[in-house]
Structure 1
Amino acid sequence: MKKLPLLLSSVLLVAACANPAVIERAKAERAGFAAVEIGARRAVGAAPVWNQSAAELEGTEKRVHALVHGKTISADTAVQVALINNRALQSSFAELGLSSTDLWEVAMGPVPSVGVSVSGLAGDVTRTLEATVAGALLELATTKPRTQLAEIRFRQAELAALAETIDLAVQTRRAWIEAVGAFEASTLIGRTQNTADAASELAVQLGRTGAMNKADQAREHAFTAELAVERAAARLEAQLAKEKLLRLMGLWGSDTTVYVPDALPALPGRPLAASNIEQLALTNRVDLASGKLELNAIALDYRLTGQTRMVSDIALVAGAELERTDGDTETAPVLALDFQIPLYDTGPLVSKRGRMAYLQAANTLAQQAIDARSDARMAYKAVTGRHNIARHWRDQVLPLRRQIDEAALLSYNGMLTSTFELIADAQEGLESRLAAAEAKRDYWLAETEATAAIWGGSVTLPAGKEE
């Protein structure tokens, strides 16, 4: 019976391979989510929420209702609601939870199996005790590197969740800007249409008195009709943009009673994007961080793979059988079909595969870094360029246009110019105001893209999960 304690001690040794610190971190209810929260606050100024129960979901719904129902919301509010209420984002958080479960399972170490059977024949009772530690040697040898690899995959899952959070925030802010910009255009057209409607009515009255022929009347009515079409198109664009915004915010039903401002914020005195945006991108982009982790994972994985090439279609279990007969115990080796064993292979095949996989990942990361730097430079040029254009419209074109409008109105009131000239000036003024509003919208969109250039980039998790 001396062999039995030895085998049981092997079972305990296998179980002792568990890493308590990693287990505690991985089994937490929201493992890894703190990193996502911190990263989101730094990147987009808002923190996501991970709803894991009906009570938490109900609390979030009440919070969302209080933030938006019947209110005119800012871009920051829209982003905050999206980060706590968008169900696709909640799904990505669940993916993070699955990754933490994978890490937990690996950190627990190998799970030994022990089987005990009792059998007897007529008049001769024989007890057979079978203790088998399935794959103990393999698991003991590879638990540490397997845990390290699982930790890398878990960290990549954190970055993937953060990338989804940042992307949603950027999309939501972009949708808010587009919706508000469309409503601003509709408002500008509406103001001009009021003037056109008055001129059209005046044309009708002049036509009745014979002071205006039918061709001139038709010209007035055509301008009014064209403005009506433009305004309808602007309203439709605004409604569609707002609907996209509501979808990103996860709103439906009664919660869609939400309003956005009629105009975008005023142009700032200087662009908000930092001049060192290229360095910020290299430091903060989540796709680059994930790519660096992938290099570590491949290096670790192929060092491991060199020792654990599996034998196809062969399964063996190593153990010992203790058979007790008439008070004596005999030990005999046992082979049974149960698990795959490693074929040690450190030859050229594995070596080349590892080198090629590492080179592939390294060059992919290098190109991602080049792309990130380029994205950052383009984003900064777009921000500064759009700001200059919008400022030119605001400081140069619109003041001149206001002078023209004021002079035209004085001339019209003094009966020095006709209604046609007043309407023509109004039409040109509308085009200038719409162009200025569009330039302002493009600037704010460029600022949003700058945020994406600094922090964004999609993170794709490896298809083959660890273990």
Structure 2
Amino acid sequence: MTNARTGQSVQFSKPGADATAVERSVAQLLGKQLTADSAVQLALLNNKGLQASFAQLGIAEADLVQAGWMSNPSFSFGRMSGAHAVEIERAVMFDILGLLTIPVRSKIEGRRFDLAKLQAASDAVKLAADTRKAYFNAVAAQQTALYSAQVRASAEASAELARRMAQAGNFSKLTQAREQAFYADTTAQLARSRHNATVAREQLLRLMGVWGEHTAIMLPDRLPDLPAAPANGDNAEALAMEQRLDIQLAKGEAAMTASALGLSKATRFINVLEAGYMNTSKSGEPRENGYEIELQLPLFDWGGSRIAKAEGLYMQSVHRTADAAIRARSQVREAYSAYRTSYDLARHYRDEIVPLRKKISDEMLLRYNGMLIGVFELLADARDQVGSVNASIEAQRDYWIAETDLHAAINGTGGAAMQLRAEASAEAPQGH
């Protein structure tokens, strides 16, 4: 189930299994530059929280095996003495009702085991989506930090030039102060962007389950390019109804509850039924053999409360299934809207805004070469591009995150709601 939805397989680390193969795979993946797929593969292979959730499979499997066994018999022994005589009673009792209900109990535990597999696959698919989003956040944060370092270097050169011009008497103190203020702002922005890059990187490392020497991962300098065209979302809702793991989980819970309701009705009046062999021996008399049947009499509790409880649980699971389907359809529509909008925005920045800013920069450079403008007008135009470039990086990152959320809304348990932030104007303040 995980491979069909993520393209990556999972591995269940059982007790006593050889961990060297996993370590070799982790080292091999970390020895190369990370991609989104290799980051997901590392998380599915090495995340300890996911392995802890997989342990629930072993618990459900043990319950399934135990449901197919008959309960252990019980042995009773009694000894009475008096009037120079000793009486001894022995009995072996078997749970007859438990034996008769083994097929039904095995069926219920089998469905519970299937639900455990669905839950394990759901945890794996969610981890894959979280890791993919963390990867794109880390790459974008690193790209922003590298660009902030370039902006700071440019601002430092501008501030130094302004200082020298002021010393020569060619610059006013106000103009020099403005250049120095911009340099101070870029220094603070660089510190923030570097910290944000560290936060995004650590989030990715946590999801991949690596530490120590393995934290020296290699990320690309920039985000992947946009695809040539966006995906079509016409059948997204229908695919979600077929493939969403939370819907399959809700359906399985409803079916299991229905089976439990049938068992409750079958054992409404006979809840405890045991039969067994017994013998009695007395001093000086031959041993007496026989059998004993123990039956709980429904005098006070006729099982109505158990039936009502089972019916309530069944209706609860039915409504939860319907609610899951309604939420899934809404999440798919919302995720596709975010996906398509983020794709259009990223392409708009790539094809319109950034090229237009470059064209303006080229024109300013021509005017500078023709001595029509000064160096500070040229530097001011370069600062005007800062907002556009940062917005373009964020738009490209938002697209890849929206694509991941769309796949999660169709195949997994639903992606997080994504709101596209309004970007600040790319124009520099007056006086810069």
* 2:44 aligned residue: 83
2-structure distance, mates of 1:275, 1:76: 26
What is the DSSP-based 3-state SS (H/G/I as helix, E as strand, rest coil) of the residue aligned with 1:331? strand
* 1:182 aligned residue: 141
One-letter identity of the residue aligned with 2:113 = F
Counterparts of 1:130-169 in structure 2, within 5 Å, are 130-133=91-94, 135=95, 137-169=96-128
* 2:429 aligned residue: none
* 2:318 aligned residue: 362
* 1:279 aligned residue: 238
Counterparts of 1:111-130 in structure 2, within 5 Å, are 111-113=72-74, 130=91
Match for residue 211 of structure 1 among 137, 149, 170: 170
Judged with a 3 Å threshold, the aligned counterparts in structure 2 of structure 1 residues 352 and 129 are, in CA distance, closer, same or farther, namely closer
Counterparts of 1:251-262 in structure 2, within 5 Å, are 251-262=210-221
* 2:158 aligned residue: 199
2-structure distance, mates of 1:228, 1:318: 84
* 2:342 aligned residue: 386
Structure 1 residues 40-64: Cα deviation after superposition (integer angstroms, max 9, x where no partner): 1111111111112455223212321
Residue 305 (structure 1) aligned with residue 264 (structure 2): yes
Q: How many equivalent pairs are there? A: 412
* 2:377 aligned residue: 421
Q: Which runs of 5+ in 2 are unaligned?
A: 415-432
One-letter identity of the residue aligned with 2:356 = L
Displacement of 1:179 after TM fit? Answer: 0.8
Match for residue 74 of structure 1 among 16, 31, 35: 35
2-structure distance, mates of 1:371, 1:127: 67
1-structure distance, mates of 2:267, 2:15: 41
Match for residue 223 of structure 2 among 253, 264, 280: 264
* 1:104 aligned residue: 65
2-structure distance, mates of 1:342, 1:208: 106
1-structure distance, mates of 2:40, 2:302: 52
Judged with a 3 Å threshold, the aligned counterparts in structure 2 of structure 1 residues 355 and 440 are, in CA distance, closer, same or farther, namely same
Moved more, 318-327 or 201-210: 318-327
Moved more, 80-89 or 351-360: 351-360
* 1:59 aligned residue: 21
Residue 289 (structure 1) aligned with residue 251 (structure 2): no
Give the alignment's Cα RMSD to 1 decimal.
2.9
Displacement of 1:140 after TM fit? Answer: 2.2
Moved more, 214-223 or 193-202: 193-202
1-structure distance, mates of 2:306, 2:219: 59
Residue 236 (structure 1) aligned with residue 195 (structure 2): yes
What is the DSSP-based 3-state SS (H/G/I as helix, E as strand, rest coil) of the residue aligned with 1:47? coil
* 1:437 aligned residue: 393
* 2:426 aligned residue: none
Displacement of 1:272 after TM fit? Answer: 4.1
Displacement of 1:230 after TM fit? Answer: 1.1
Residue 330 (structure 1) aligned with residue 291 (structure 2): no
What is the DSSP-based 3-state SS (H/G/I as helix, E as strand, rest coil) of the residue aligned with 1:320? strand
* 1:13 aligned residue: none
Does the CA-based 8 Å contact 2:268-2:303 persist in structure 1? no
1-structure distance, mates of 2:169, 2:359: 33
Moved more, 227-236 or 196-205: 196-205
Displacement of 1:190 after TM fit? Answer: 2.3
Judged with a 3 Å threshold, the aligned counterparts in structure 2 of structure 1 residues 316 and 43 are, in CA distance, closer, same or farther, namely closer
* 2:11 aligned residue: 49
2-structure distance, mates of 1:275, 1:188: 38
One-letter identity of the residue aligned with 2:29 = L
Displacement of 1:350 after TM fit? Answer: 4.8
One-letter identity of the residue aligned with 1:281 = A
1-structure distance, mates of 2:303, 2:210: 58
Residue 396 (structure 1) aligned with residue 352 (structure 2): yes
Does the CA-based 8 Å contact 1:183-1:235 persist in structure 2? yes
Structure 1 residues 160-212: Cα deviation after superposition (integer angstroms, max 9, x where no partner): 11111011111111111111111111122222333222222222222222111
2-structure distance, mates of 1:346, 1:335: 20
Residue 411 (structure 1) aligned with residue 367 (structure 2): yes
Judged with a 3 Å threshold, the aligned counterparts in structure 2 of structure 1 residues 92 and 144 are, in CA distance, closer, same or farther, namely same
Does the CA-based 8 Å contact 1:322-1:331 persist in structure 2? yes
* 2:180 aligned residue: 221
| TM-score, normalised relative to structure 1 | 0.81
Does the CA-based 8 Å contact 1:308-1:342 persist in structure 2? no
Displacement of 1:309 after TM fit? Answer: 4.9
* 1:22 aligned residue: none
Q: Which runs of 5+ in 1 are unaligned?
A: 1-38, 459-467
Judged with a 3 Å threshold, the aligned counterparts in structure 2 of structure 1 residues 367 and 276 are, in CA distance, closer, same or farther, namely same
Moved more, 357-366 or 82-91: 357-366
Displacement of 1:102 after TM fit? Answer: 0.5
Q: Percent identity?
A: 36
What is the DSSP-based 3-state SS (H/G/I as helix, E as strand, rest coil) of the residue aligned with 1:50? coil
1-structure distance, mates of 2:220, 2:7: 21
What is the DSSP-based 3-state SS (H/G/I as helix, E as strand, rest coil) of the residue aligned with 2:101? helix
Structure 1 residues 304-348: Cα deviation after superposition (integer angstroms, max 9, x where no partner): 112335999xx8854231346789553344478xxx848498776
Counterparts of 1:334-349 in structure 2, within 5 Å, are 334=292, 341=296, 343=298, 349=305
